[in-house]
Amino acid sequence: MENIDKNRVIIFDTTLRDGEQALQQSLNHKQKLQIALMLEQLGVDVIEAGFPISSPGDFEAVKLIGENLKRAVPCGLSRAVDKDIDAVRDALKNCERYRIHTFIATSDIHVQDKLRKSFDDICEMAKAAVMRARNYTDDVEFSCEDAGRTPIDHLCRMVETAIKAGARTVNIPDTVGYTIPSEFGNIIKTLFERVPNIDDAIISVHCHNDLGMATGNSLVAVQNGARQVEVCVNGLGERAGNCSLEEVAMALRTRSQYFGGLYTNIVPTNIARASQMVAGICNEKVPPHKAIVGSNAFAHSSGIHQDGVLKNRNTYEIITPESVGFKENNLHMTARSGRHMIKSRLNALGYSDDTFNLDEVYRRFLELADRKGEVFDYDLEALLFFTHDMQEQTQFALENLNVMCGGKGVIPTASVKMTIGSETITESGTGDGPVDAVFNCIKRLTNIECKLLDYNLSATSEGMNAQGQVDVVVLYNGRKYYGRGLSTDVIESSALAFVHACNSIYRAQIIEKEKEQGQAPHGEGFIGKDTVAQP
């Protein structure tokens, strides 16, 4: 083997193969190429682009990706079957370099019940597959499917056979996520102790997350000598998913000293963008609590945590959001937030300490947070300028709406009737779809030109009569505003959410006008710093 840096952990990404297998529908060529190019920018070393023999579409996607990669090594998967191996060769033969990844099951349950062969037969099939692949490329990877449940004697024999046949990388998959870290680490350690030619190949691991052990198993394997980890962006993959790319990369980076200086070529500041792209293209939202890339990964709601982060981010953040490509952390204002958080946000909004009484503002904040759940900057500012009644008042109210849409050639059209102040007005308009047509009408009626940033529809109950909850985020004058609507009609719930956001914008407009005119905050119960609070 050529000399390699023993401290570098190779990142083999299988989002486009194992990850795609878990999606409800296949990705098209353009989508796959878009993800592959992002993975290359992210610093992935090997990209498993697909399973060429599985379909003509997969064959063409692997071919297209291989022809467009400039740094990362393209790879195709094959069973230990001649036609599979030849298909990978045919798909990637125009590439300057490429990898053939061939596999066969090695556990007793797979050998006996699925393949119905003897282990001797399996060894011969593996040997023949690797040798055939080596006729086409010197970069051959062999995988022992279900290695986590393979008897260790059989596994050692198979690894030695594959390396002797010419495999430069041998992968040890925990295919069904069965092992636990101490057990899996011992498997890797034993291979290094017992396989005589193991130094002639790179040992790789591919761990599934059925018991939530995928990242832990992968990292303990690295500690025991593995130097390639097979991963998916956002942990996508069969069943409970695969080992998460972002978790492995950031664990090795954050705890570099613990792992003896091991590193990857992953560019951490591209992680958030890659995660969001994959989530969007695959239509698989990232769970809020997902490590590294979830929306709550850098969010703080506890007052104690918020106070600590405001004083020193290292108190509760071992990774900064900026280090993985996010702009900032999120300090959610809820009933759990403390005075320090409220004071910090008011100061950030431009209000000096002598313009408000923190105790009184905090009392009113808690009342609002108990009613509303999460409080946003514009809500907090409204506490200073509006009485309690004014906070509850709405300038815009939806009366009714009608939508016409249909098949080919029909332009979605909406008619919306709203009460604006004391007037009732109706507006009609078109859009790219029924919701867009309704939103366009509401924009004209309210005279608020905002940009929709996020739209999320969810069911709040089960069955045909389930209510649809719509949450929207809109951008107006550089600030985000949130709206929520609930109805059994998803078009109506969309309209209600948009009107909700417009009412928040309207109240913010009033505040801005008063600030421009030099008026001080004057809300009911508002008390200057030097004034004694009333009971």
The reported pLDDT for the residue numbered 316 is 54
CATH 3.30.160.270 range(s) for the chain read: 392-500
Long-range contacts of 403-412 (CB under 8 A, 24+ apart): 403/434, 403/437, 403/438, 403/491, 405/433, 405/434, 405/437, 412/436, 412/437
CA distance 443 to 135: 64
Pick the CATH number of 10-282 from 3.20.20.70, 2.60.40.10, 3.40.50.920, 2.40.50.140: 3.20.20.70
pLDDT digits (tens, 9 = 90+) for 257-282: 999 999 999 999 999 899 988 988 89
Q: Average pLDDT in the 282-302 region?
A: 78
Q: What are phi and psi of 300, to 5 degrees?
A: -130, 125
**Can you give the pLDDT at residue 530?**
40
SS3 call for 258: coil
Encode 294-322: b = buried (16+ Cβ within 10 Å), e = exposed. beebbebbbbebbbbbbeeeeebbebebe
Spatial contact of 380 and 364, defined as CB atoms under 8 Å apart: no
Could you tell me which residue, 82 or 304, shows the higher pLDDT? 82
Task: Report the DSSP beta bridge partners of residue 74.
Answer: 47
Q: In the CATH scheme, what architecture does the domain 392-500 have? A: 2-Layer Sandwich (3.30)
Mind spelling out the 3-state secondary structure of 473-523? EEEECCEEEEEEEEECCHHHHHHHHHHHHHHHHHHHHHHHHHHHCCCCCCC
Q: Which two tokens stand for residue 497?
A: 């959410």
379 pLDDT above the threshold of 90: no
Tokens of 78: 């094959």
3-class state of residue 311 by DSSP? helix
Tell me the pLDDT tens digit for each residue of 464-494.
566 788 888 899 988 888 888 888 888 999 9
Which strand ranges, in their side-by-side order, compose the sheet holding 479-487? 451-459, 468-476, 479-487
Q: Which two tokens stand for residue 253?
A: 């980076």
What per-residue string of b and e applies to 40-53 under the rule 16 or more CB within 10 Å gives b?
bebbbbbbbbbbbb
CA angle, residues 280, 285, 289, in degrees to nearest 5: 140
Q: Which long-range contacts (CB under 8 A, 24 or more apart) does 482-486 make?
A: 482/376, 486/460
In 3D, which of 127, 152, 153 has the Cα closest to residue 142?
Answer: 127
How many other C-beta atoms are found inside a 10 Å radius of the C-beta of residue 94? Answer: 10
What confidence tens digit (pLDDT) does each residue in 167-214 have? 999 999 999 999 999 999 999 999 999 999 999 999 999 999 999 999
Is the confidence at residue 533, as pLDDT, over 90? Answer: no
Mind listing the pLDDT tens digit for each residue in 55-78? 999 999 999 999 999 999 999 999
> With contact defined as beta carbons under 8 Å apart, do 48 and 18 qualify?
yes
Q: If you ran DSSP here, which 8-state letter would residue 412 be given? A: P
Q: In this structure, are residues 145 and 105 in contact, taking their beta carbons and an 8 Å threshold?
A: yes
Tell which residue, 376, 409, 396, has the closest CA to residue 441: 396
Note whether 80 and 115 are within 8 A (CB): no
- Answer yes or no: are the C-beta atoms of 88 and 52 closer than 8 Å: yes
Distance separating alpha carbons of residues 193 and 162, to the nearest angstrom: 17
> CA-to-CA distance for 377 and 500, rounded, in angstroms?
16
d(CA 448, CA 528): 33
* Global model pTM greater than 0.75: no
Mean pLDDT of the chain: 86
Q: Which residues pair with 507 in a beta bridge?
A: none
Kindly indicate the confidence band of residue 32, based on its pLDDT and cuts at 50, 70 and 90.
Answer: very high
Structure tokens at 353: 């300490």
Query: What are the φ/ψ torsions at residue 121 (nearest 5 degrees)?
Result: -60, -40
Contact 81, 103 (CB under 8 A): no
pLDDT of 346 over the 60 cut? yes
Cα–Cα distance, 141 to 77 (Å, whole number) = 9
**Phi (first) and psi of residue 374, to 5 degrees:** -105, 140
Q: Are 106 and 123 in contact (CB under 8 A)?
A: no
Q: What percent of the chain has pLDDT over 70?
A: 84
Residues of the chain with CATH 3.20.20.70: 10-282
404-417 pLDDT, tens per residue?
Answer: 887 677 888 999 99
pLDDT for position 526: 43
